[in-house]
Amino acid sequence: MPKLQVLNQQGSKVTDLTLNDYVFGIAPHQQVLYDVVNAQRAAMRQGTHDVKSRAEVSGGGRKPWRQKGTGRARQGSTRSPQWRHGGIVFGPTPRSYAVKVNKKVGQLALRSALSFHANNESLIVVDQLHVDNAKTKEFKALLDNLKVTEKVLIVDNVFEDNVFLAARNLPNVALVQASHASVYDLLNCKVLLLTESAVKHFEEVLA
């Protein structure tokens, strides 16, 4: 089973933590990770694009000229697709881009993402997150103590208001509750920072 040091906010070791091998020690499943991230990115699309068909364009109720005898091609409406200001054929219409992902596939993807960080030594575990004041410089000092300089995702069960306010101005920092963490979030960072309570949450839910 993988072992990690639990650090305090000063970057000093507090204790050793043995991670659940089923959650943090598997070989990441590349295809499942791709499928779930692809589904999550598809779900972000609004799908509100729309064009007007010949039935929705205003006008065109009268036949422009009689059927025979003019020498011109027969026309039934000035809003047919070949006319200027006519309707659009096969254009985009509102739709949902949602892709179904099985529950077990989603769980495997989460375990794969967590194991990816554990295997690549980009996982940091801290005992707790706390700042006295909602000051960005205090949270920046906390990250400096932990030697975090790259894009980081911080996961905890519940964030204090001061922590949230102090971190929101840092462009390379994202905060998410453990119950809302997605595979896309976990992979869209260089460093994953978990609290002990977040680790217990993942092990309870995924083990």
Kindly give the confidence (pLDDT) of every residue in the chain, 207 residues in length, as a single tens digit, with 9 standing for 90 and above. Answer: 678 889 998 888 889 999 999 999 999 999 999 999 999 999 999 999 999 999 999 998 899 999 999 999 999 999 999 999 999 999 999 999 999 999 999 999 999 999 999 999 999 999 989 888 889 999 999 999 999 999 999 999 999 999 999 999 999 999 999 999 999 999 999 999 999 999 999 999 998
At 60, the amino acid letter reads: G
CA-to-CA distance for 21 and 42, rounded, in angstroms? 31
pTM above 0.85, yes or no: no
Q: Can you list the positions of beta strands (E) in the chain?
A: 3-7, 13-18, 123-126, 152-156, 173-177, 191-195
The CATH-assigned architecture of domain 3-45+98-206 is 3-Layer(aba) Sandwich (3.40)
34 Cβ neighbours under 8 A, 6+ residues apart: none
pLDDT attached to residue 2: 72
Range(s) within the chain of domains with CATH label 3.40.1370.10: 3-45+98-206
Which DSSP category does 86 fall into?
Answer: -
CA-to-CA distance for 176 and 197, rounded, in angstroms? 13
CA-to-CA distance for 2 and 12, rounded, in angstroms? 20
